[in-house]
Structure 1
Amino acid sequence: MPEKFDYYYGEESESCSFYRIPRLLILGTRFSGLSTDAKLLYGLMLDRMNLSARNGWYDGAGRVYIYYTLEEIQESLRCGHGKAVRLLAELDTEKGIGLIERKKQGQGKPTRIYVKRYTTRAVPPPADFPGEEVKTSENGKSRVPQSGRADFPKGDGNYTDRKQTDVNQLYRSSSSPPGGGRWERERMTEKVRSQVEYSRLCERYEVELIDELVAVITDVLCSTRPTLRVGGELLPAWQVQKRFRLLERDHLEYVIESLQRTTAQVVNVRAYLMTTLYNAPVTIYHYYQAEVQHDLAGG
């Protein structure tokens, strides 16, 4: 006797439909500067290729194209006109990464969009060992301005007397992160970049500094040590990692703005960044509240 299968009711029928975003767009280093929303839009465009095939939308050279107006993009992503324009520019061949090519037809006709392949036939370079990658991040290239004021609680800022060996164990452990090394670390780096809106930060601040912050966060989240040193104090690793998982773009902006105002000479930049990042989720509100009160007072 055949097994009885149930019907689909209501919105249950939609559970069979999925949008697919290529894995390479998430993990590939050449797409690291592409925003998450732009990657999603590219996935939506790939889905529209099926509609083009059914409608026979091919040009004279046999290349398939799609139609996807700004209004449709705004509706699909629940975003405004300006954001839709920026996302298209991110993907475009003229202003962006080159994953789509737009051709205007004029006379009120919608623009044709050619969705390009996200893969190439070029052979990728040999993979570096994770130890080299971590060593690069340990060079401490970030340049911290020497003027301004310190905006962090007592004990969080001045590391002029702190030895470099205080944090050596943390960064040594990140050369062998859980899950097998380099690929796990790359995935974590991509996740951190997405979480802090890396491309937007790079538009406002020095890329080297943003990379340094991302490296510190990644080192912490990849660490397998039971304890991590923050501000000269050993804390349970799970506690530090829990705090670092809260970090978003506004926290990094807060850290950078505070760095630019500090009067202290920061010798161990990475130790300083580690502590300020750890404190950011719990001190950011009070910092901006103080700024607002200062402005209102006309100071």
Structure 2
Amino acid sequence: MSTIRVRSAASYWLAVPAAAWMLGVVVVPIVLLGWVSLWGGRSFSPASPLTLDNYAKFFANKTYLQLALSTVTHTVMLMAVTGVVGYAIAYFMTMKVKHPAWRLVLFLAFVVPFWTSTLIRGIAWVPFLGVNGVINQALMFTGATRSPVEAFLYSRFGISLAQVSLYTMMAAGPVIYMLNNIAPQLREAAMTLKAPPLVVFWRIVFPLTLPGVVIGQVLVFLNVMADFATVATVGGNKHAMLPNLVLLFYEGSQHRAASVVAVLLMACMLIGVIAAMKVVDIRRLGTER
């Protein structure tokens, strides 16, 4: 047991390395982004006057606003799909698979793909979704279609399909942890009192796993909102979201516009996290006994 008291001088000194790291790699870059987004004038230099004109130009462009709305709508849809699929996977692995060896095999089957980068996993979907890809070959082999379906690759559907596969485990992982912490006696007591399985799930299991659901949805929300690689590889040049707009502005040396979009993207993420914490205070998880 630690002998260091809370709020003691030693505890503050131990927090200095982590605080310095967060200050250097998180706080300072965010402050610089906000500063650059406010630069006005024609010259791009620290001496430029600070103004809100860059934000006014963004909100005056209907295309950018539609892109922002499309990004948020797409993210909410992905959260709903991964939430349902992830919960079903978590429930099956925890409640239905009783043998520890099989549970380990299934867990590794879901986790091992995450050992590769998101870019590689996104590119791996291209051979599956293409005109001559695995999915089209399977559909033509079974007679479901006579010609290849072109709607899989370079489409919103293909982007959604790839991202669901990439981020479902993020939604399932915290739920698996919460399900493992539920005492079996609670469900047994409810079933002893003749409660139907659906009532047991809705009144006991789901409320106890709600913190895991919220944490998983926060992870999915943050990753989808920041995902430009999957959109670029699977969607091609036909579809884009706010992260791709940041990259486009940066490649065009429009640093002030890129900073504006980056700041707005971070603001959307912050609002999403705050909304999630209104449902469940995830800061208190692990502190209750």
Q: Shared fold (TM-score greater than 0.5)?
A: no
Which structure dedicates a bigger proportion of its chain to helix? Answer: 2
TM class by smaller structure = under 0.3
Where is the strand percentage greater, Structure 1 or Structure 2? 1
> If the length of structure 1 is used for normalisation, what is the TM-score?
0.21
Bigger relative contact order, structure 1 or 2 (CA pairs below 8 A, ≥6 apart): 2
- TM-score under structure 2 normalisation? 0.21
